[in-house]
Amino acid sequence: MDRDALAEFLVRRREQLQPGDVGLSDGVRRRTPGLRREEVAQLAAMSTDYYSRLEQRRGPQPSIQIVGSLARALRLTPDERDYLHRVSGHSAPDRAVFTDYVHPGMLRVLDRLDDTPAFVVSVLDEVLVQNDAARALLGDASALEGLDRSGIYRWFVYPDEERRRYPESAHERHSRVHVASLRAAYGALGDASRAGEIVRELIARSPEFAELWAVHEVRRRFELHKVLIHPELGEIEVDCQALFTEDESQALVVLTAAPGSEAASKLELIRVLGTQRV
């Protein structure tokens, strides 16, 4: 780990970004250029003290997960992200396989979607980043770790918790879609990947998954329309639009409702109130 290079790189990248570049309000006039430390920490979902220690050359070696969060927060290009990994004492991730990296262009689009739920997901249904409206509607995914990050994994391992967001009549269809999507990811990434690990765990833990996996259905798509169940507001009908990266390893998903509809009113209420109890 090169503490000097890491600290200098973080400071320079922070100074080069403006609040509007990362979806933040400019607020009051700033005495120094760029983002504040607390703003970078907020974007990277870490404490300001921890981030400050990295810039001050006195922090511990950041984990690969933290490096990934910093790369997203600072809107790094692939080359910059690789450099950040190396000065942090890690090998640069293989660009030919799945990673948690979200391209700055995708993040810029997400930053401008503050009036409707939107989030970026991987081929394993892992929420990589989400806006406040999505967090209020679907819950905060930032605290999830390991295989629990995958919505496919949670669907079969924690059915009582995960499936309550959807009408019971749709559960069977969602199960088939999840397995078919995982089959597509497994074929692309291979048995030694995280997809393979999820498959092995689910075969061992879920008879329902094992039965569906044996069907060998392959499908990689998002439903154009779905019904979500909010704990206070009940059913909300939403349309789903997905913008894929060039290699289709990630997708920006945007949830909307017809203007003037009851669902649109519910989404607006959720957006205004955020994560407060409705």
* pLDDT score, position 142: 77
How far apart CA 159 and CA 164 sit, in angstroms, is 8
> Final residue of a domain: which of 87, 120, 138?
87
Verify that 207 and 246 share a domain, yes or no.
Answer: yes
**Token pair listed for 81:** 């992200």
* pLDDT score, position 114: 84
Q: Is residue 167 a part of any domain in this protein?
A: yes
- How many domains would you assign to the chain? 2
Q: Is residue 121 a part of any domain in this protein?
A: yes
Verify that 72 and 127 share a domain, yes or no.
Answer: no
Given a contact cutoff of 8 angstroms between Cβ atoms, the answer to whether 236 and 269 are in contact is no
Domain that holds residue 62: 3-87
State the pTM of this model: 0.72
| Residue owning tokens 């439903």 | 223
Verify that 11 and 140 share a domain, yes or no.
Answer: no
Given a contact cutoff of 8 angstroms between Cβ atoms, the answer to whether 98 and 194 are in contact is yes
Tens place of pLDDT per residue across the chain (278 aa): 888 989 999 998 998 888 877 877 766 666 777 888 999 998 888 999 999 999 999 888 999 889 988 998 898 888 788 889 999 999 887 655 556 778 888 888 998 888 899 999 998 999 999 998 999 898 888 778 889 999 999 999 999 999 999 999 999 999 999 999 999 888 888 888 899 999 999 999 999 999 999 999 888 766 788 999 998 899 999 999 999 888 778 899 999 999 999 999 999 998 887 655 54
Domain with residue 66: its CATH number is: 1.10.260.40
Q: 104, 14, 25, 85: which is closest to 52 by C-alpha?
A: 14
Q: Is residue 278 a part of any domain in this protein?
A: no
How far apart CA 113 and CA 133 sit, in angstroms, is 9
Verify that 114 and 234 share a domain, yes or no.
Answer: yes
CA separation, residue 96 to residues 43, 119, 189, 193, 260 (Å): 26, 23, 10, 12, 45
